């Protein structure tokens, strides 16, 4: 009975998969314009990104960019420039993206104007940072992180702002350090309220909490980041190292019931992730 | 695939890639090693990633870690603990932080390209030498890759090598196993 039921489910899955494939094929053949292809590639790239397949996503963003460029050559329009800009943002080509959004705004796409400004400001801040002008760079990253509306820029700016400020942290008096960390955690929490499923924000929160010595909370945020997915392999590994680090710190500080409870929960997670042991993530060489 | 076949494959790949790099290249073997590891770990879906050498060296993790994290990194590895014994005992973060910046991507994040680039230092457990030479050696290797990547056929050639490697059945193995097999085989070519 169970076998029949499983088979039915499987058949349904295959049929629905085939249906999606057929619909996509028809959509592709029916909408042969480069604009449609650019949109489809962009949507597919965003879907891959959400499911943590960022390398495939990058390839699809490139395809989307190519199609948008084809469309611009044949029929330049606000939408085509907007699509080109979106692909460029996701490929970290900030200067080109800003230019594309400006052209989209000139052709009547209202939202593109503010996107162009944010992308351009971010590009400027990155070049300030590369020239060693840390303070103005931090100021601009901070403005974008707190007031930006274009989510790819907001995320990138927040990461850069935090890392730049953490670099200055050891030179500050202890009281100032605590004040800075609390303020920055507030900014990340605000970003999380708007986008609670963003693994990268949970990663940032976990890192900041460990600077405050709040290892239990840091561990929980790192678990959230892992479960929601992180956009790059080295981020994923760094986050796993953070989980192990929190485990070691808590092993030293927790006692009695608190330790029993934590270690039980920890074991459940590492079993789920198929880690070799408490301190060896699945990707680590043994 | 047996060891002989693997060695033959690696020798052939080195010869093919050799056309793109200088004779005493720093980057050739790290590029080959990391490309094959990535090809396997990403199960062939992500060959495009290999074509984006610049991307994986972008700083996207938070590099500024708490002092406790840095100390834990050095203390938790027996080799590092013995090399940096004095600094750890004195809590000398002024010395440990710069070393951490070089050693963490290699040992902590296990970047395959960096592991191959610094293979000799790792083999000799000469972590101080690795840390001191990290930046210039990496910059020299990257400039070699930039020059090779500027040639029209370089990336398709590398992609072809990865494709051939995958077609030999390596995708059935885990990253650990592939790393170890490649490491041993590369020492022999």
A134 and A221 fall within a common domain: no
- Number of structural domains chain A divides into: 2
**Any idea which residue has 């790192």 for tokens?**
A222
The pLDDT of residue B172 is 65
* Closest chain A CA to residue B61: A235
The answer as to whether A80 is a domain residue is yes
Does the beta-carbon distance from A233 to B72 stay under 8 Å? no
| Whether B168 contacts chain A with CB within 8 A | no
3-state secondary structure string across A102-153: HHHHHCCCHHHHHHHHHHHHHHHHHHHHHCCCHHHHHHHHHHHHHHCCCHHH
- Chain B interface includes A283 (CB < 8 A): yes
Rg over alpha carbons for chain B, rounded to the nearest Å, is 18
DSSP letters for chain A? -HHHHHHHHHHHHHHHHHHHHHHHHHHHHH--SHHHHHHHHHHHHHHHHHTT-HHHHHHHHHHHHHHHHHHHHHS--HHHHHHHHHHHHHTT-HHHHHHHHHHHHHTT-HHHHHHHHHHHHHHHHHHHHHTT-HHHHHHHHHHHHHH--SHHHHHHHHHHHHHHHHHHGGGS-HHHHHHHHHHHHHHHHHHHHH-TT-HHHHHHHHHHHHHTT-HHHHHHHHHHHHHH--SSHHHHHHHHHHHHHHHHHHHHH--HHHHHHHHHHHHHHHHHHT-SBTTB-TTS--
Q: How far is B7 from chain A (nearest CA, A)?
A: 22
Judge whether A249 is closer than 8 Å to chain B, CB to CB. Answer: yes
CB contact under 8 A, A204 and B62: yes
Contact B60 A235 (CB under 8 A): yes
Q: Which residues of B touch A62 (CB under 8 A)?
A: 48
Residue A81 lies in a domain: yes
Mean pLDDT of chain B: 83
Q: Let me know if residue A165 belongs to a domain.
A: yes
State whether B108 and A241 contact (CB < 8 Å).
Answer: yes
Are A80 and A123 in a shared domain? yes
Query: Counting one residue from A and one from B, how many pairs have CB atoms under 8 Å apart?
Result: 81
Per-residue confidence (pLDDT) for residue A271, from 0 to 100: 96
Q: How far is A74 from chain B (nearest CA, A)?
A: 27
A70 at interface of B, judged by CB pairs closer than 8 A: no
Per the domain annotation, does A55 fall within a domain? no
Q: Identify whether residues A206 and A150 lie together within a single domain.
A: no
Of A171, A206, A221, which one is at a domain's C-terminal end? A171
Q: Which residues pair with A277 in a beta bridge?
A: A280
Positive or negative, the Cα torsion across A202, A203, A209, A210?
positive
Domain that holds residue A119: 60-171
Asked if residue A161 and residue A66 are part of one domain, the reply reads yes
Taking contacts as CB-CB distances below 8 angstroms, the residues of chain A near B66 are 210-211, 213
For an interface test with B, the pick among A241, A251, A279, A281 (most B C-beta atoms closer than 10 Å) comes out as A241
User: Cβ-count burial of A125 within 10 angstroms (0-12 exposed, 13-18 middle, 19+ buried)?
Assistant: buried
What span, in angstroms and rounded, lies between the C-alpha atoms of B71 and B67? 6
Residues of A in contact with B69 (CB under 8 A): 210, 242, 245
Q: Are A150 and A205 within one domain?
A: no
pLDDT attached to residue B118: 94
**Chain B CB within 8 Å of residue A221 CB:** no
Is residue A249 pLDDT above 60, yes or no? yes
Q: By the CB < 8 Å criterion, does B79 face chain A?
A: no
Residues A84 and A131 in one domain: yes
Last residue within a domain, chosen from A136, A171, A206: A171
Nearest CA in chain B to A56: B46
pLDDT above 50: residue B58: no
pLDDT digits (tens, 9 = 90+) for A58-115: 788 888 999 999 999 999 999 899 999 988 888 878 788 888 988 998 898 888 888 8
Both A121 and A202 in a single domain? no
Same domain, A199 and A273: yes
Whether A248 and B111 lie within 8 Å, measured CB to CB: no
| Residue A260: both structure tokens together | 């029993």
Q: What pLDDT digit, counting tens, does each position of A237-247 carry?
A: 999 999 999 99
**A39 token code pair:** 């949109």
pLDDT band for position A50 (50/70/90)? low
B78: CB partners within 8 A, 6+ apart: none
CATH of residue A101: 1.25.40
Instruction: Identify the bridge partners of residue A280 per DSSP, sorted by sequence position.
Output: A277
Quote the ipTM score: 0.77
Tokens of B97: 């932080």
My answer on whether A284 and A201 are in the same domain is yes
- Residue of A170 and A19 predicted with greater confidence: A170
**What phi, psi does A231 have (nearest 5°)?**
-75, -15
Which member of A233, A238, A245 has the closest CB to residue B72? A245
Does residue A10 lie in a domain region? no
Highest mean pLDDT: which range of A56-70, A180-194, B165-179: A180-194
Residue B174, both tokens: 């885990």
What is the band of A213 on the pLDDT scale with cuts at 50, 70, 90?
A: very high
Cβ atoms within 10 Å of B67's Cβ, excluding its own: 13
Pairwise CB contact (< 8 Å): B60 & A53: no
The answer, yes or no, to whether residue B53 has pLDDT greater than 70, is no
What's the rounded Cα separation, in Å, for the pair A244 and A249? 9
Given A115, A138, A171, the domain boundary residue is A171
Residue in A with minimal Cα distance to B110? A284
pLDDT digits (tens, 9 = 90+) for A116-171: 888 888 888 888 888 888 889 999 999 998 888 888 888 889 999 998 889 888 88
pLDDT, averaged across chain A: 84
Question: Lowest-pLDDT range, A87-91, A210-214, A229-233?
Answer: A229-233
**Quick one: closest CA in B to A237, which residue?**
B109
Q: Is the domain of A203 the same as that of A101?
A: no
3-state secondary structure A71-90: HHHHCCCHHHHHHHHHHHHH
Interchain proximity A167–B64, CB inside 8 Å: yes
Q: Enumerate residues 6+ apart whose C-beta is below 8 A from B148.
A: B20, B21, B27, B31, B154
Quick one: which of A142, A33, A161, A150 has its CA closest to A85? Answer: A150
Q: Which of A88, A99, A191 is nearest to A149 (CA)?
A: A191
The pLDDT-based confidence of A8 (bands split at 50, 70, 90) is very low
Helix axes A151-168, A199-211, angle to 10 degrees: 10
> 3-class DSSP state for residue B110?
coil
- CB-nearest to A238 from B61, B175, B176 is B61
Do A162 and A67 share a structural domain? yes
Let me know if residue A44 belongs to a domain: no
């Amino acid at each position: 009975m169970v076998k029949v039921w499983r088979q039915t489910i499987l058949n349904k899955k295959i049929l629905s998969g085939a249906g999606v494939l057929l619909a996509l094929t028809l959509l592709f053949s029916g909408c042969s314009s480069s604009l449609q292809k650019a949109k489809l590639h962009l949507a597919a790239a965003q879907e891959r990104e959400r499911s943590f397949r960022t390398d495939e996503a990058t390839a699809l963003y490139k395809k989307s960019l190519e199609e948008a460029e084809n469309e611009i050559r044949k029929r330049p329009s606000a939408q085509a420039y907007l699509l080109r800009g979106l692909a460029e943002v996701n490929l970290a080509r900030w200067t080109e993206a800003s230019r594309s959004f400006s052209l989209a705004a000139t052709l009547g796409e209202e939202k593109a104007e503010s996107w162009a400004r944010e992308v351009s400001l971010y590009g400027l801040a990155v070049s300030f940072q590369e020239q060693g002008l840390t303070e103005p760079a931090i100021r601009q990253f901070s403005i974008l992180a707190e007031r930006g509306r274009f989510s790819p820029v907001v995320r990138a700016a927040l990461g850069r702002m935090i890392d730049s400020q953490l670099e200055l942290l050891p030179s500050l008096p202890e009281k100032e350090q605590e004040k800075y960390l609390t303020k920055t955690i507030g900014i990340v929490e605000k970003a999380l309220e708007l986008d609670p499923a963003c693994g990268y924000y949970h990663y940032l929160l976990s890192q900041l909490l460990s600077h405050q010595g709040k290892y239990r909370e840091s561990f929980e945020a790192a678990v959230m980041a892992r479960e929601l997915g992180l956009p790059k392999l080295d981020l994923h590994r760094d986050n796993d190292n953070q989980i192990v680090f929190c485990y070691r710190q808590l092993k030293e500080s927790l006692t009695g019931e608190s330790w029993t409870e934590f270690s039980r929960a920890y074991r459940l997670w590492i079993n789920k992730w198929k880690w070799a042991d408490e301190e060896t993530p699945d990707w680590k060489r043994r | 695939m047996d060891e002989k076949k693997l060695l033959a494959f690696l020798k052939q790949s080195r010869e093919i890639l050799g056309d793109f790099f200088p004779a005493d290249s720093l980057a050739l073997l790290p590029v080959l090693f990391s490309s094959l590891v990535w090809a396997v770990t990403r199960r062939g879906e992500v060959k495009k990633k290999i074509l984006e050498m610049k991307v994986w060296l972008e700083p996207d993790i938070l590099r500024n870690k708490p002092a406790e994290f840095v100390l834990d990194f050095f203390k938790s590895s027996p080799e590092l603990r013995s090399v940096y014994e004095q600094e750890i005992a004195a809590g000398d973060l002024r010395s440990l932080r710069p070393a951490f910046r070089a050693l963490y991507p290699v040992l902590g994040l296990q970047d395959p390209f960096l592991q191959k680039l610094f293979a000799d230092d790792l083999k000799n457990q000469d972590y101080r030498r690795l840390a001191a030479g990290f930046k210039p050696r990496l910059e020299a290797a990257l400039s070699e890759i930039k020059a090779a990547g500027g040639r029209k056929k370089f990336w398709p050639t590398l992609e072809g090598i990865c494709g051939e490697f995958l077609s030999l059945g390596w995708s059935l193995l885990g990253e650990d196993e592939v790393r170890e097999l490649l490491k041993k085989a590369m020492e022999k070519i």
